[in-house]
Structure 1
Amino acid sequence: MPESSAKKLLILIGSPRREGNSATLARAVQEGAEAAGARVALRFIDDHITSFLRDCRTCRRADGECSIQDGFRSLFFEDFLPAAGVVFCSPIYWYGLSAQTKAFFDRTFCYYAASYPDSARVIEGMTRKRIGLVLASEETYPGASLGIIHQIQEYARYTHSEFVGLARGIGNSRGEVTRDPAASLANAEALGREIFERKFSDYRIDTPRSGRVWSE
């Protein structure tokens, strides 16, 4: 596939650890996506965000721009908005997303809010993406991740996007996820490889549909 026509995937890592389990899983996603021909950008969120969301009514500049001086704007406009797919990779902290990952979501408000002059273009760029989620934790029980899954699912629905897959890895010490017997690295690699092709369905009671999920 020519690079100019390849779909762009953004992988956002919400862990501060460059060689931690979230980063290990994220690189597996990257390997799968690149093998499938995608153009991949892998970013650590805390390389770009140094501040939480503030009160835009008092913080916003006179020209409508956000006044927070960090790298969020370039991450958002140059990597996130043009991406056809985004995979959020986070450790599970206190049964929720990392603060870095949550801050990324919160800071988007600076630009999709009506007080930003070009918010209509931003909203258009935020919608209709393919969304994936990668979680790392030392706990194996399913409930540890349910709140996060629900949050990402609702984010996807809110932005008319498709939440197409989850890969979860179990490990505590650095890189331990590679020994996860549930083959979490393989699952993460498959998520990256299939992010733009994996079937997504979210039926309503009146949705016209076939009686079959898979073709013959």
Structure 2
Amino acid sequence: MKLLVLVGSPRRAGNSATLAQAVQRGAESSGADVAVRFIDDFVTSFLRDCRTCRGPNGECQIADRFAELFFEDFLPAHGVVFCSPIYWYGLSAQTKAFFDRTFCHYAASSPRSAEVLEKMGRKRLGLVLASEETYPGASLGIVHQMQEFSRYTYSELVGVVRGVGNRRGEVQLDPVDPVREAERLGREMFVRAYSDYRLDTPRSPRVWP
């Protein structure tokens, strides 16, 4: 199974990166094929008006490496873990830009939209966050956004990990031990039980066998 770990922090040795490395260790220990990518190595521009910047062939003409990240890493992945610092109670600009930039590739005006729509959904997703505040509400907006993205793409949000720290690597001192939890998320990414009932979902009277 292919797992993509997307890091939305500009800091290569910050707390988000520390947690991403833990996800990688856990996933590799279970035999997954893991790729870790820092979003700002690929995305240097925000989404524009696609009607003004598409080329004659209909392809996006923004001159960065987003298409490489999207087509070569994101679409083929069976699972994706988004690792982001919490900035102003939301995702980092890098992470949000990644989500926004996907639009021009699955919009009906894109020549590859059918291919993208087929591969974009039905993934296992994880969310790993780092913040300097212990306030529980700091991450609620981000979790909600990921829940809606998961629903929209028929994907499964199988786990959320949040670590607290400010200085580089300080998340390792968090007594909740988010590094261990991030490693566990990576290890269980493709086997963790997931249930999300609808009104007409067949239901067993037991959750665990």
After TM superposition, the score normalised by the length of structure 2 is 0.99
Larger deviation: 29-38 or 109-118? Answer: 109-118
Superposed, 1:175-186 pairs within 5 Å as: 175-186=169-180
Quick one: distance in 1 between partners of 2:118 and 2:5? 20
For structure 2, which runs of at least 5 residues remain unmatched after alignment? none
Query: C-alpha offsets along residues 68-118 of structure 1, whole Å, 9 cap, x if unaligned?
Result: 010100000000000000000000000000000000000001100111111
Give the aligned partner of residue 3 of structure 1. Answer: none
Give the aligned partner of residue 69 of structure 2. Answer: 75
Instruction: Report the CA distance between 1:206 and its aligned residue.
Output: 2.4
Give the aligned partner of residue 189 of structure 1. Answer: 183
Give the aligned partner of residue 52 of structure 1. Answer: 46
1:167 paired to 2:191: no
Quick one: distance in 2 between partners of 1:110 and 1:64? 10
Superposed, 1:107-118 pairs within 5 Å as: 107-118=101-112
Quick one: distance in 1 between partners of 2:200 and 2:80? 30
1:34 paired to 2:22: no
1:14 paired to 2:30: no
Quick one: distance in 2 between partners of 1:156 and 1:23? 23
Quick one: distance in 1 between partners of 2:164 and 2:56? 47
Give the aligned partner of residue 97 of structure 1. Answer: 91
**Off by >2 Å, runs of 4+ in structure 1:** none
Quick one: distance in 2 between partners of 1:97 and 1:121? 27
Quick one: distance in 2 between partners of 1:118 and 1:47? 24
**Residue among 106, 120, 127 paired with 2:121:** 127
1:137 paired to 2:154: no
For structure 1, which runs of at least 5 residues remain unmatched after alignment? 1-6
Quick one: distance in 2 between partners of 1:197 and 1:96? 29
Quick one: distance in 2 between partners of 1:118 and 1:70? 18
Letter in 2 for 1:36: S
Q: Percent identity?
A: 74
Quick one: distance in 2 between partners of 1:126 and 1:11? 16
Quick one: distance in 2 between partners of 1:40 and 1:26? 11
Letter in 1 for 2:133: E
Letter in 2 for 1:91: P
Query: C-alpha offsets along residues 161-191 of structure 1, whole Å, 9 cap, x if unaligned?
Result: 0000001101000000011100100000000
Give the aligned partner of residue 84 of structure 1. Answer: 78
Considering only aligned residues, what root-mean-square deviation do their CA atoms show, in Å?
Answer: 0.5
